[in-house]
Structure 1
Amino acid sequence: MRWIKIFYTVAVFVTLTIFIYNTHLTKYLRAINQSKWKTSLPSRIFNLTPFLLDDPFAFKQMFGEQVILYIETTDSVNLKPRDVCSLESVTTFNPTVPVIIVVTVTNHTSDQLPFYNSTSFQSLMNNTQNLFVAWATIPDIAKDTILEQFLFNDTRILNSKYRPAHVGDFVRFLLLWKLGGVYLDFDIMIFKSLAPILNLKNFVIATFSNGVINAAMGFERHNPWLNLLMNRSQTNYYPTYYPSTPQIMTLTLHYILNISFNAGAADHMKSQVNESLHIIGSKTFFPFDYENVVLAMFNTNFTKYMEKAFETHYGIHTWNRRTGYIKVEVNSSKPLAVAARKFCPRTISLAGAFF
């Protein structure tokens, strides 16, 4: 009995020691990473290639295990207040996670970024420590991947009228393939910490009857599921169909995992569908579906529903392709304005009379 007591005493002591050590080590490493971010503004705007893009160890050493990625693939763009609102909300609720906007450029030596003349973006960069801008060429991003020949030699994507959007779909795949992390579209406003989602590491999101979308997804570097989705997306690419990639992702997972994406099915799915892939439902960023998002964001009768979503959801996908042209007064009681005043106050204060 005496030896048993000694054994359990030692076991408890060792367990507590490991727990305390790991806790303090995590905080220490996090502090070290954050200290790297507290640098001058120019040092947070950097060239991603060739060094960091092709050296995952160096990238990990600089930014840690978790990153949130955005991409901008248009040649000339000025980030709109709603785009900056997304960045303000995500950096505010995830202050220990690097948020990196990757801008594709024609010459990787260029330091002239296309959207830096945005007043609200400049203000956010000047007052946020975990926001970064990196630039890279698409050939460098695609180099040595299964999509390299497809993006530059396949006539289907070269001649597609949706080419810029579709190239953006594939670039987000490639960045996750090479770097790992979580990708978000600019039209997702965040309501709370994304830690539970970030911790899933490998996930896609299904919403209502739309099936799987690619506005938000996360993968570890060189994840086999990501390789499968990239391969299927290029093989079955539909050049005349705008949501080609989400549709192929949906069909691929439907056949392989025998999952139905009928209306509402995503909300009833188990988060753990497979040991290596999570499929999560509309409780993430979709309090309103695509068909009703205009009404839900701009009709004051839906303000209470929006406020309820602040508690029940991680954010809202505003579907800018459908709603971006609609302006709201910043001081109005319309649901979008109410959300913006709460989750991106700095941005909306600089937006002028309309948001």
Structure 2
Amino acid sequence: MNEKKINETSKNIFLIETSCKGYLDLRQLCAVKSAARAHPDWQINLLFVGPVTHEKLTTGILSSLQAYENVVIARVYLSQIVKDTPLERVLTENLLETSEYRYAHVSDIIRLLLLWKFGGVYMDLDIVVLKPFDDLGPDFAGLDAPNSVNTAVMGFKVYSEETFYPISAQHWREYFQPGVFNVKRFSKSHTVHVLNSLSHVIKDRTIKPWTLYANMAKMFCPPIYSVNPESLSEQ
């Protein structure tokens, strides 16, 4: 990653693909496009831990991001991002090798150091942005339950559940059940979190066009929805 390309005004949004699969599925692409759409004057930094081929960038669904002038795609190297930081010893002393949750910890390290170095906002790739972050200030995170802070969207000030996670993790299935986007219900929400880590267990992996998630995608990342609502299933 060329750190000189990072926006120096702190108007950065960072999204990180850590599985090393070398592409995004449509649900992840919806996260990027909804962020770019809501923040035309912010830089949306889509970072891959693993390599991405030229073919994927230029002919696959990633190529559709070329239409967004505020989206930057780059590869991030753990060895580079930890250099000269308080977390450098995690890598130099091979502490990750003994971690039971190695990949989750790599993701945590990268997201925290990006915010520590550059400021801005980190968000997971299973987030849909409903409205801009401009009014949140520089430091925030959000509760997803009365006693649980979620780091799927953060900049270090803690906001109430309704700000980022209006539907709690316990009720994630509601996104994939019949529903319409109720403006009043989500009026105080900047994002929703559809929890790919849990929703992948759905036996019928297709996303029906009458579900709450599909209706949100239709409104907030319409280019993705228009491809085929059912293809929004996590790949």
Q: TM-score, normalised by structure 1?
A: 0.59
Contact 1:75–1:114 at 8 Å: present in 2 too? Answer: no
Write out aligned runs for 1:144-293 (5 A): 144-155=84-95, 157-197=96-136, 200-209=137-146, 211-218=148-155, 278-293=157-172
Q: Distance in 2 between matches of 1:140 and 1:92?
A: 30
Q: Letter of the aligned partner of 2:227 in structure 1?
A: L
Match of 1:70 among 15, 29, 49: 15
Match of 1:347 in 2: 224
1:352/1:328 Cα in 2 relative to 1: closer, same or farther (>3 Å)? same
Q: Distance in 2 between matches of 1:151 and 1:94?
A: 34
More helix by share: 1
Match of 2:63 in 1: 122
Q: Distance in 1 between matches of 2:94 and 2:182?
A: 43
1:288/1:114 Cα in 2 relative to 1: closer, same or farther (>3 Å)? farther
Question: Which SS does the other structure have where 1:100 is aligned?
Answer: strand
1:122/1:283 Cα in 2 relative to 1: closer, same or farther (>3 Å)? same
Match of 1:298 in 2: 176
Are residues 1:338 and 2:215 paired? yes
Provide the alpha-carbon RMSD of the alignment. Answer: 2.5
1:318/1:111 Cα in 2 relative to 1: closer, same or farther (>3 Å)? closer
Q: Distance in 2 between matches of 1:180 and 1:354?
A: 34
Contact 1:120–1:347 at 8 Å: present in 2 too? Answer: no
Q: Letter of the aligned partner of 1:322 in structure 2?
A: L
Q: Distance in 1 between matches of 2:222 and 2:79?
A: 38
Shift of 1:310: 4.0
1:90/1:312 Cα in 2 relative to 1: closer, same or farther (>3 Å)? same
Shift of 1:210: 5.2
Could you tell me which runs of 5 or more consecutive residues in structure 1 were left unpaired when the two chains were aligned: 1-46, 53-57, 220-277
Are residues 1:314 and 2:193 paired? no
Shift of 1:306: 5.1
Question: Which SS does the other structure have where 1:144 is aligned?
Answer: coil
- Structure with greater Cα Rg: 1
Give me the identity figure in percent. Answer: 27
Question: Which SS does the other structure have where 2:10 is aligned?
Answer: coil
Match of 1:48 in 2: 2
Q: Distance in 2 between matches of 1:128 and 1:338?
A: 23
Contact 2:121–2:153 at 8 Å: present in 1 too? Answer: yes
Q: Distance in 1 between matches of 2:211 and 2:187?
A: 18
What is the number of residues matched between the two proteins? 230
Question: Which SS does the other structure have where 1:354 is aligned?
Answer: helix
Contact 2:32–2:46 at 8 Å: present in 1 too? Answer: no
1:163/1:196 Cα in 2 relative to 1: closer, same or farther (>3 Å)? same
1:139/1:94 Cα in 2 relative to 1: closer, same or farther (>3 Å)? same
Contact 2:26–2:231 at 8 Å: present in 1 too? Answer: no
Question: Which SS does the other structure have where 2:149 is aligned?
Answer: strand
Match of 1:81 among 14, 20, 26: 26
Q: Letter of the aligned partner of 2:132 in structure 1?
A: S
For each residue in 1:245-288, what CA deviation from the matched residue of structure 2 results, as whole angstroms up to 9, or x when unmatched? Answer: xxxxxxxxxxxxxxxxxxxxxxxxxxxxxxxxx32111212111
Question: Which SS does the other structure have where 1:74 is aligned?
Answer: coil
Q: TM-score, normalised by structure 2?
A: 0.86
Match of 1:259 in 2: none
Question: Which SS does the other structure have where 2:21 is aligned?
Answer: coil
Match of 1:11 in 2: none
